[in-house]
Amino acid sequence: MSSQIDFFWRLPTHGCSSSVRNPDLSRGDWVPLKEGNQAPGLYEGVSDGTTYIDHVAQIAKAAEISGFHGGLIPSFPMTDDPWVISSHLARETKTFRFMIAFQPGFINPVETARLTASLQRATGGRALFNIITGGGGPSQLWWGDSFAHDDRYGRTTEFLDILKGVWKDGPFSYDGRFYSVEGGTLPPALAATDLPEIYFSGSSDAALASASKHADFYLTWLEPFEQLKAKFAAVKEKTDALGRRIKCSIRVDLIARPTEEEAWADAKAGFEATAHKRSDSFRQASDSVGAARQAAFKASDAKHYDDLIIGPNLWTGFSLLRGGPALGIVGSYEQCAERLDELIALGADGFILAGTPHLEEAYRVGEEVLPLVRGRQASLSIAAE
C-alpha cells in the first residue's frame, strides 16, 4: 500500500459564496441575478449567457492545477447532477478526477456500468464514485425511494456486486433481493476501461458491512479525533477479515489563513453574518447515523462563535455557514497542516478538502497548506512522542 496521501477538493453543486465572512451565495443562479453575481452574471443589464457549469469549470481547473486529484461532486435535492457535471467537463480538464456522489437505488447497476465506462472513455479513466446510501426521511421519499435504512445498504451491496460483475466478468447473471440481471455485459471497448475507484460513505454498522466488501476508500466527515481513530480501526479490521485492503479518507472544510488570528476572525465574521437566520442543515429528519453525530454538536444553539471550539483548531460551526457537516479546521497554514498530519497518524490515507470560496481557496490550500503536509514522516515523529 502506498504511503502517499491522496488529496481531493470538492465541487459545490448548488452555488458558492464569494466569502466565508459573508456566506450569502453569489455564484450561481440560486440567488436572483444582480450586478457582481457570477455564472450567470449581469452584463449591460442582461444575463451574460454564462451558466453555473462555467463557474464549476473554473473550480475544477483551479483544483487540478493546484495539485488536487479531483473533486467530490455532491448530489442532493437542490443541487445539480454530478453525472451531467462530469460529462460536461470531461473534455476541458486534464487530470481532474470526477468523484460522483451516487445513491445506487437511482439508476440500475447495468446502466450505471455503461454510463461509468463511457465516462472513463470520455475522460481517459478519471471517473470514480462516492457511494452514498441516503439519509432517509422526507428527502429519500422526495427522490422516490421508500426503502428503509438497512435495506438501502443491502441494495448498495447488490448494486456493486452487479456493477463489477457486468464490467469485468460478463456475461454476468445475478438474482438478488433488489436487482437481477441475465447475461449482462459491456461492449469490449467499454469493458476494457478500469473500474472506477470506490469511495464509500456511511457510519452505521450496515454501512461498514457494505463498505468492507466493496470500497477502496472508506470516507467519513471529520469527527473528534479519538472517535475517528476507533472508526478507522474498525473499518480496517472488518475489511482485513475479508482478505481485502481498504484506505480511509476524511471530508473536511478548512479556514486556512496566514495567521491563526485571521482564521478565527473569519470564522467569527461568518458566524455573526448568519446569526439572523440561524439554521443547522443537519438537524433534519433523517435516519443517518453519521448525520446524527454531526447534529449532536448542536451548533445552532451557540451564542458565540467560540462556544463551538472543541479542540485546537477544531470548530463545529461550519454547518451554520453552508449545508454540510459541522466540524472543520480553523487555523494558520502551519496549524492546518499539523492537524492533517495528526489525522494521517491516526489512520487517514486521504482527504477531501474544501473552503469558501471554492475557487480561490483551491489555489490557497494547494499553494499554502499542501506543501506543509509531512504525511507519514510526521506520523513517525508523532508516534514517537
Ligand X SMILES: Cc1cc2nc3c(=O)[nH]c(=O)nc-3n(C[C@H](O)[C@H](O)[C@H](O)COP(=O)(O)O)c2cc1C
Interface with ligand X (CB under 6 A): 74-76, 101, 130, 132-135, 201-204, 207, 219-221, 251, 288-291
Cβ pair 255, 267 in contact under 8 A: yes
Task: Please report whether residue 36 would count as binding other proteins according to CB under 8 A.
Answer: no
Near other proteins by CB under 8 A: residue from 81, 161, 307, 360: 81
> Which residue from 357, 317, 330, 348 is spatially nearest to 254, judged by alpha carbons?
330
3-state secondary structure of 180: strand
242: exposed, middle or buried (Cβ count in 10 Å: 0-12, 13-18, 19+): exposed
Q: Which amino acid, one-letter code, is at 380?
A: L
Min dist CB 135 to ligand X, Å, is 3
Task: Please report whether residue 109 would count as binding other proteins according to CB under 8 A.
Answer: yes
Stretch that binds other proteins, among 66-74, 86-94, 326-334, 351-359 (CB under 8 A): 86-94
Task: Please report whether residue 34 would count as binding other proteins according to CB under 8 A.
Answer: no
Task: Please report whether residue 111 would count as binding other proteins according to CB under 8 A.
Answer: yes
Cβ contacts of 129 within 8 Å, gap of 6 or more? 99, 100, 101, 102, 116, 196, 197, 198, 199
> Cα 325 vs. chain centroid, distance in angstroms?
11
Distance (Å, whole) CA 302 – CA 317: 9
Distance (Å, whole) CA 95 – CA 116: 17
Min dist CB 20 to other proteins, Å, is 22
Task: Please report whether residue 145 would count as binding other proteins according to CB under 8 A.
Answer: yes
Min dist CB 324 to ligand X, Å, is 8
- Give the position of cell 475517528: 228
Task: Please report whether residue 190 would count as binding other proteins according to CB under 8 A.
Answer: yes
Residues 159, 160, 165, 167: what is their CA dihedral angle, to the nearest 10 degrees?
Answer: 100
Q: Quick one: what does residue 189 bind among other proteins, ligand X, none, with the CB cut-off 5 to 8 Å set by partner type? A: other proteins
Cβ pair 64, 96 in contact under 8 A: yes
Stretch that binds other proteins, among 74-82, 207-215, 325-333, 367-375 (CB under 8 A): 74-82
Task: Please report whether residue 65 would count as binding other proteins according to CB under 8 A.
Answer: no
Q: Which amino acid, one-letter code, is at 66?
A: S
Q: Binders of other proteins: how many residues, by CB under 8 A?
A: 54
Stretch that binds other proteins, among 49-57, 293-301, 331-339, 353-361 (CB under 8 A): 49-57
Residues of this chain that bind other proteins (CB under 8 A):
28-30, 51-53, 77-78, 80-81, 83-92, 105-111, 114-115, 117-119, 121-122, 138, 141-146, 162, 171, 179-185, 187, 189-190, 192
